[in-house]
Structure 1
Amino acid sequence: MSTPDLAPRRTFGGVVAVWVLAAVAGVLIGLFAPAGWRAQWVSVALGGCVIISFAVQLWYGRSQAFIQRMALSTLGALVVLGVITMGFGLAALVSG
Protein backbone atom coordinates (compact mmCIF):
# COMPACT_ATOMS: atom_id res chain seq x y z
CA MET A 1 0.00 0.00 0.00
CA SER A 2 1.34 3.40 -0.84
CA THR A 3 0.67 6.66 0.86
CA PRO A 4 -0.81 9.50 -1.15
CA ASP A 5 1.31 12.51 -1.96
CA LEU A 6 0.55 15.41 0.33
CA ALA A 7 1.74 18.04 -2.12
CA PRO A 8 2.39 16.38 -5.49
CA ARG A 9 4.59 18.15 -7.96
CA ARG A 10 2.88 19.75 -10.93
CA THR A 11 3.44 17.64 -13.99
CA PHE A 12 2.19 19.99 -16.70
CA GLY A 13 5.49 21.88 -16.67
CA GLY A 14 7.29 18.80 -17.96
CA VAL A 15 4.81 18.47 -20.81
CA VAL A 16 5.26 22.10 -21.82
CA ALA A 17 9.04 21.77 -21.54
CA VAL A 18 8.99 19.03 -24.20
CA TRP A 19 6.84 21.26 -26.45
CA VAL A 20 9.33 24.12 -26.06
CA LEU A 21 12.19 21.75 -26.85
CA ALA A 22 10.35 20.64 -29.99
CA ALA A 23 9.83 24.27 -31.05
CA VAL A 24 13.50 25.10 -30.56
CA ALA A 25 14.57 21.97 -32.45
CA GLY A 26 12.15 22.72 -35.29
CA VAL A 27 13.40 26.28 -35.72
CA LEU A 28 17.03 25.18 -35.62
CA ILE A 29 16.35 22.46 -38.19
CA GLY A 30 14.55 24.94 -40.42
CA LEU A 31 17.39 27.42 -40.24
CA PHE A 32 20.42 25.14 -40.51
CA ALA A 33 19.37 21.95 -42.31
CA PRO A 34 19.38 21.83 -46.12
CA ALA A 35 15.89 21.75 -47.64
CA GLY A 36 16.31 18.16 -48.82
CA TRP A 37 17.19 16.87 -45.36
CA ARG A 38 14.63 18.72 -43.23
CA ALA A 39 12.09 15.87 -43.13
CA GLN A 40 14.71 13.41 -41.88
CA TRP A 41 15.93 15.81 -39.21
CA VAL A 42 12.39 16.53 -38.04
CA SER A 43 11.92 12.77 -37.57
CA VAL A 44 15.11 12.64 -35.51
CA ALA A 45 13.93 15.62 -33.46
CA LEU A 46 10.59 13.93 -32.75
CA GLY A 47 12.40 10.79 -31.62
CA GLY A 48 14.56 12.91 -29.33
CA CYS A 49 11.44 14.56 -27.92
CA VAL A 50 9.94 11.15 -27.13
CA ILE A 51 13.10 10.12 -25.28
CA ILE A 52 13.26 13.43 -23.39
CA SER A 53 9.57 13.06 -22.57
CA PHE A 54 10.23 9.64 -21.02
CA ALA A 55 13.11 11.06 -19.02
CA VAL A 56 11.12 14.05 -17.76
CA GLN A 57 8.08 11.99 -16.79
CA LEU A 58 10.19 9.35 -15.05
CA TRP A 59 12.04 12.09 -13.20
CA TYR A 60 8.75 13.22 -11.66
CA GLY A 61 8.40 9.79 -10.08
CA ARG A 62 4.60 9.62 -10.33
CA SER A 63 2.87 6.66 -11.87
CA GLN A 64 -0.59 8.24 -11.91
CA ALA A 65 -1.55 9.28 -15.47
CA PHE A 66 1.93 8.47 -16.82
CA ILE A 67 0.56 7.27 -20.16
CA GLN A 68 -1.61 10.38 -20.54
CA ARG A 69 1.32 12.70 -19.81
CA MET A 70 3.53 10.81 -22.26
CA ALA A 71 0.86 10.94 -24.94
CA LEU A 72 0.27 14.65 -24.37
CA SER A 73 3.98 15.40 -24.52
CA THR A 74 4.56 13.38 -27.66
CA LEU A 75 1.43 14.53 -29.48
CA GLY A 76 2.18 18.15 -28.60
CA ALA A 77 5.74 17.82 -29.90
CA LEU A 78 4.39 16.26 -33.10
CA VAL A 79 1.96 19.15 -33.60
CA VAL A 80 4.60 21.79 -32.84
CA LEU A 81 7.10 20.24 -35.24
CA GLY A 82 4.38 19.83 -37.87
CA VAL A 83 3.32 23.47 -37.67
CA ILE A 84 6.92 24.70 -37.87
CA THR A 85 7.67 22.37 -40.78
CA MET A 86 4.53 23.54 -42.56
CA GLY A 87 5.64 27.14 -42.07
CA PHE A 88 9.04 26.47 -43.59
CA GLY A 89 7.43 24.55 -46.44
CA LEU A 90 5.07 27.42 -47.23
CA ALA A 91 7.96 29.86 -47.05
CA ALA A 92 9.87 27.76 -49.58
CA LEU A 93 6.87 27.78 -51.92
CA VAL A 94 6.44 31.53 -51.69
CA SER A 95 10.11 32.36 -52.13
CA GLY A 96 10.36 30.39 -55.32
Structure 2
Amino acid sequence: MAVPELVPRRTIGGIIAVWIVAALVGIAIAVFVPLGWRAQWLAVGLAACLIVSFVVQLSYGRSQGFTQRVGASVLGAFVVLGILSLGFGLASLFSV
Protein backbone atom coordinates (compact mmCIF):
# COMPACT_ATOMS: atom_id res chain seq x y z
CA MET A 1 0.00 0.00 0.00
CA ALA A 2 1.40 3.38 -0.98
CA VAL A 3 1.58 6.09 1.61
CA PRO A 4 0.48 9.48 0.25
CA GLU A 5 2.87 12.37 0.62
CA LEU A 6 1.75 14.70 3.37
CA VAL A 7 3.51 17.73 1.95
CA PRO A 8 4.61 17.20 -1.67
CA ARG A 9 7.62 19.11 -2.87
CA ARG A 10 6.98 22.07 -5.13
CA THR A 11 7.77 21.34 -8.74
CA ILE A 12 7.81 24.88 -10.09
CA GLY A 13 11.53 25.16 -9.26
CA GLY A 14 12.37 22.36 -11.69
CA ILE A 15 10.33 24.00 -14.43
CA ILE A 16 12.01 27.37 -13.95
CA ALA A 17 15.43 25.69 -13.78
CA VAL A 18 14.94 24.37 -17.32
CA TRP A 19 13.99 27.88 -18.48
CA ILE A 20 17.20 29.23 -16.97
CA VAL A 21 19.19 26.49 -18.72
CA ALA A 22 17.50 27.50 -21.99
CA ALA A 23 18.52 31.13 -21.45
CA LEU A 24 22.11 30.11 -20.72
CA VAL A 25 22.20 27.86 -23.79
CA GLY A 26 20.83 30.69 -25.94
CA ILE A 27 23.42 33.13 -24.64
CA ALA A 28 26.19 30.58 -25.24
CA ILE A 29 24.94 30.12 -28.80
CA ALA A 30 24.95 33.89 -29.32
CA VAL A 31 28.53 34.15 -28.11
CA PHE A 32 30.19 31.09 -29.63
CA VAL A 33 28.25 30.18 -32.81
CA PRO A 34 28.68 31.99 -36.16
CA LEU A 35 25.67 33.82 -37.61
CA GLY A 36 24.91 31.22 -40.28
CA TRP A 37 24.64 28.33 -37.82
CA ARG A 38 22.61 29.88 -35.00
CA ALA A 39 19.21 28.53 -36.09
CA GLN A 40 20.48 24.97 -36.25
CA TRP A 41 22.16 25.26 -32.87
CA LEU A 42 18.99 26.70 -31.31
CA ALA A 43 17.22 23.48 -32.33
CA VAL A 44 20.03 21.46 -30.72
CA GLY A 45 19.74 23.65 -27.61
CA LEU A 46 16.00 22.99 -27.41
CA ALA A 47 16.66 19.25 -27.67
CA ALA A 48 19.16 19.56 -24.83
CA CYS A 49 16.52 21.40 -22.77
CA LEU A 50 14.11 18.51 -23.40
CA ILE A 51 16.64 16.05 -22.02
CA VAL A 52 17.36 18.32 -19.04
CA SER A 53 13.62 18.58 -18.44
CA PHE A 54 13.26 14.79 -18.34
CA VAL A 55 16.19 14.47 -15.95
CA VAL A 56 14.92 17.19 -13.61
CA GLN A 57 11.35 15.91 -13.52
CA LEU A 58 12.42 12.28 -13.09
CA SER A 59 14.60 13.31 -10.16
CA TYR A 60 11.46 14.43 -8.29
CA GLY A 61 10.22 10.84 -8.25
CA ARG A 62 6.56 11.80 -8.63
CA SER A 63 4.43 10.40 -11.40
CA GLN A 64 1.46 12.71 -10.86
CA GLY A 65 1.56 15.47 -13.46
CA PHE A 66 4.81 14.32 -15.04
CA THR A 67 3.78 15.08 -18.61
CA GLN A 68 2.38 18.48 -17.62
CA ARG A 69 5.61 19.43 -15.86
CA VAL A 70 7.77 18.27 -18.78
CA GLY A 71 5.47 20.07 -21.21
CA ALA A 72 5.62 23.30 -19.21
CA SER A 73 9.40 23.06 -19.01
CA VAL A 74 9.86 22.48 -22.73
CA LEU A 75 7.26 25.06 -23.73
CA GLY A 76 8.95 27.66 -21.54
CA ALA A 77 12.35 26.75 -22.99
CA PHE A 78 10.86 27.10 -26.47
CA VAL A 79 9.55 30.58 -25.64
CA VAL A 80 12.87 31.64 -24.10
CA LEU A 81 14.86 30.44 -27.11
CA GLY A 82 12.29 32.00 -29.45
CA ILE A 83 12.69 35.39 -27.78
CA LEU A 84 16.47 35.05 -28.00
CA SER A 85 16.27 34.11 -31.68
CA LEU A 86 14.10 37.17 -32.27
CA GLY A 87 16.87 39.19 -30.68
CA PHE A 88 19.42 37.48 -32.94
CA GLY A 89 17.35 38.39 -35.99
CA LEU A 90 16.95 42.01 -34.97
CA ALA A 91 20.65 42.27 -34.13
CA SER A 92 21.59 40.92 -37.56
CA LEU A 93 19.38 43.54 -39.24
CA PHE A 94 21.11 46.40 -37.49
CA SER A 95 24.67 45.10 -37.35
CA VAL A 96 27.33 47.01 -39.22
TM-score category, normalised to shorter length: over 0.9
In the comparison of the two structures, how many residue pairs are matched? 96
| 1:1-96 → structure 2 map (5 Å cutoff) | 1-96=1-96
Q: Counterparts of 1:57 and 1:37 in 2: how far apart (Å)?
A: 30
Cα deviation for residue 37 of structure 1 reads 0.5
Aligned-residue sequence identity (percent) comes to 58
- The answer on whether the counterparts of 1:30 and 1:85 sit within 8 Å (CA) in structure 2 is no
Give the Cα–Cα distance (whole angstroms) in 1 for the partners of residues 87 and 31 of structure 2: 12
Q: State the AA in 2 paired with 1:51.
A: I
RMSD: 0.9
Shift of 1:2: 2.0
Unaligned runs of 5+ in 1: none
Q: Is there any run of 5+ residues in structure 2 with no aligned partner, and where?
A: none
- TM-score, scaled to structure 2: 0.96
Q: Report runs of 4+ in structure 1 exceeding 3 Å deviation.
A: none
Separation of aligned partners in 2, 1:11 and 1:76 = 14
Deviation digits for residues 49-72 of structure 1 (CA, Å, limit 9, x no counterpart): 000000000000001111110100
- Give the counterpart letter for 1:36 in structure 2: G
Contact kept, 8 Å, 1:23 with 1:80, in 2: the verdict is yes
- Note if contact 1:15-1:73 (Cα within 8 Å) is conserved in structure 2: yes
Letter in 2 for 1:44: V
Give the AA of the match of 1:11.
T
User: Residue deviations 1:7-38, cap 9 Å, x none?
Assistant: 21110000000000000000110111000110
Structure-1-length-normalised TM-score: 0.96
Asked whether the 8 Å contact 1:57–1:66 carries over to 2, the reply is yes
